[in-house]
Amino acid sequence: MLDPQAQAVIQAVSALGNPPLEQQTPSQARELYAARKALTDASPRSVQAVTNVDFHGPGGIISLRHYRPQGSVPSQPLGTVLYFHGGGYVVGNLESHDTVCRHLCAQSGCAVVAVDYRLAPEHRFPAAFEDCLAATEYVFENATALGVDTTRMAVAGDSAGGQLAASVALALRSDNAINLAFALLIYPITDPTMSHPSIQSNGSGYMLTKNGLRFYYGHYFDGQNWRGDQRAMPLNSESLKGLPPTLVLTAGLDPLRDEGHAYANALSAAGVQTQYVCFQRQIHGFVTMGGMIDEANLALDLCAAALARALSTE
């Protein structure tokens, strides 16, 4: 059964009369995604401070948004979460996931650094991955100035951002300096070949559709050599051994449900400490819809609690 509140979101978005995603241009998709956020977003949580930081990345300036929880002071090194927003590599930005980042910061007591990575089709694969990896390295290298405890760093993200978080964790697995303490993957893309059963069973009627996924993947991956590359397909990595403890959260009526579940199982099979939670009655993107869906806030509370435990000093 679909959560009645999720059904109300689907009806409200449908009433806007927007064309299907696959009939939109990237700029239209970005504009309409922002409009949907205004309709469904929760009220922002209070945090101690929010600071914008820019640095030079592999393809130009990358903007970060640094959230500090209530009661913290600038000189206090905190457990810190690098957050990579969702949006199919095409839409989304620091504003679209501001409420999510504030919630995680306020509830976990950890700092959160959101990353405004380059979007497709202007910047195709692996641009988003390169920016997210560079941002993680920047935060580590500037830990003193940012008030970051480098022994308590995590990566997190939703949807495309979940894939980017998983792939950054894979890239840093053999790093001699950066040892990630945790990964939080919210309904992540783990296999863009679209070969899992839920792509078909949940591919229409629940906002994110099979054709919508083709739109996103076409803009980011088209013309690039991405198949079998762990920067795009973490599920197909030769080995998942040695990755940090991970929480994978999925939605039961999401086309991406099965590949998220499969990734959690693959992590466990590789000996990685893994937790898996599926919100059976929810749709893709629901954690950004806390203004209309109560389980969005419950899910973020669960994620924040996992971050607090993983990044605790105790």
What is the pTM for the complete model shown?
0.98
The pairing of beta strand 60-68 with beta strand 49-57: antiparallel
CATH topology for the 4-310 domain: Rossmann fold (3.40.50)
Q: What is the pLDDT of residues 81-139, one digit of tens each?
A: 999 999 999 999 999 999 999 999 999 999 999 999 999 999 999 999 999 999 999 99
Percent with pLDDT over 90 in the chain = 96
- Mean pLDDT on 259-282: 98
Instruction: Tokens 């810190």: give the residue.
Output: 80
Instruction: Report pLDDT digits (tens) over 161-195.
Output: 999 999 999 999 988 899 999 999 999 999 999 99
Q: At a CB cut-off of 8 Å and minimum separation 6, what does 25 contact?
A: none
CA dihedral 124, 91, 100, 200 (to 10 degrees): -90
Q: What is the pLDDT of residues 5-45, one digit of tens each?
A: 999 999 999 999 999 999 999 999 999 999 999 999 999 99
Helix residue spans in the chain (DSSP H): 4-15, 26-40, 98-108, 127-141, 143-146, 160-172, 197-201, 210-221, 257-269, 294-310
| Rounded (10°) CA dihedral 90, 112, 255, 189 | 70
Domain boundaries, the chain: 4-310
